[in-house]
Structure 1
Amino acid sequence: MPTAQICVARIGAPHGVRGQVRLWTFTEDPFAVLDYGPLATKDGKRSFEVDDVREAKGHLVATLKGVASREDAERLNGVELYVARDALPDTEDDEYYHADLIGLAAVNAAGDAIGRVVGIHNFGAGDIIEIAPPEGATLLLPFTNAVVPTVDIAAGKVVIELPGEIIGDDPTAA
């Protein structure tokens, strides 16, 4: 079985003319990308070593070994960078890597199946858990203790307390 990978950063647009790139990190400490050694693409075909980083507004500006021109940097825009899951620090109780939650069964408090976790998102107002039921559209729910009171990775499940209604929903509206 291949080692699980965790996306720790995404390369953005070039910064300047000497090959620097904007780098959005998904680690608690943005500078941790320097600690993991070479970062690879999801398919593992390319790897990049972060030579230097500095903080900018909302992101880092990074120098990657072998990227020497703006044209080189432009070709990397949007590339996601991964590390092996086992290279990351262990989590504390009630902490999870998003990748650890993907694929877990979603059940209600009685243990009845709701679906499977297919994603964790954050659009700026907090984490959202995406559940794919056996049929129909996926459910996007707040990833809060009220809606997701139990995460049991060892048992392979999350318990979901579905909200009774969502403010603004009007089933009679056309």
Structure 2
Amino acid sequence: MEDMLRVGVITSPHGVRGEVKVFPTTDDAARFKTLKQVVLDTGKETISLEIEHVKFFKNMVILKFKGYDNINDIEKYRSKDLLIRREQAVELEEDEYFIADLIGLAVVTDAGEALGTVKDAMETGANDVYIVEMKDGRELLLPAIGDCILDVNLDEGRMTVHVLDGLMDL
């Protein structure tokens, strides 16, 4: 399991006083109000940042980090991930999982046939859709609904699914 979870991506500076626009990658952008710190992944290193204040504009979160007071301080972090430690994450309900924990799981049908591995997940509004990279290189899109996703076992690294009629034809 991943120790760090992505909650957003810096898209651009906002104004000249060191604020940044962040595209939230969490289900609830309002959770930024309660976050005190995030970890910036620059690709070469990680930097712990203290959040000074939070605003919201359309689908974006505007963040100001302590000690970053002008556009030049923050411009270099465009397109970089903002992470939190797992212990800062929201409590999940039963049958809810972090996408980072699902990626890489082996996908097996209820008949015992190995299909491939979870490559990614798409959030569609109605329900998530898991992208499974099959052994032959094709992708299978599985809706994250109870009729299709039968069991997720993170300890064993396996997801058991029922492939609904027609899904393999797409």
What TM-score do the two structures reach when normalised by structure 1?
Answer: 0.79
Q: Who is 1:25 aligned against?
A: 24
Alignment of 1:118-133 (within 5 A): 118-122=119-123, 126-133=127-134
- Amino-acid identity (%): 29
Structure 2 unaligned regions, length at least 5: none
User: SS of the residue aligned with 1:74?
Assistant: helix
Q: Who is 1:6 aligned against?
A: 5
Q: Who is 2:39 aligned against?
A: 39
Q: Give the number of equivalent residue pairs.
A: 167
Check if 1:151 corresponds to 2:152: yes
Instruction: Write out the 4+ residue segments of structure 1 that deviate beyond 3 Å after TM superposition.
Output: 123-126
Question: Which moved further from structure 2: 34-43 or 4-13?
Answer: 34-43
Q: Who is 1:116 aligned against?
A: 117
Residues of 2 paired with 1:141 and 1:45: CA distance? 34
Deviation at 1:141, TM superposition (A): 2.7
Contact persistence 1:150–1:158 (CA under 8 A): yes
Contact persistence 2:40–2:80 (CA under 8 A): no
Residues of 2 paired with 1:64 and 1:115: CA distance? 41
Check if 1:71 corresponds to 2:72: yes
Alignment of 1:85-96 (within 5 A): 85-96=86-97
Q: What is the one-letter code of the residue matched to 1:40?
A: L
Contact persistence 2:38–2:83 (CA under 8 A): no
For the structure 1 residues 88 and 140, does the alpha-carbon distance in structure 2 shift closer, same or farther, using more than 3 Å as the test? same
Deviation at 1:44, TM superposition (A): 4.4
Residues of 2 paired with 1:3 and 1:94: CA distance? 18
RMSD, aligned CA: 2.6
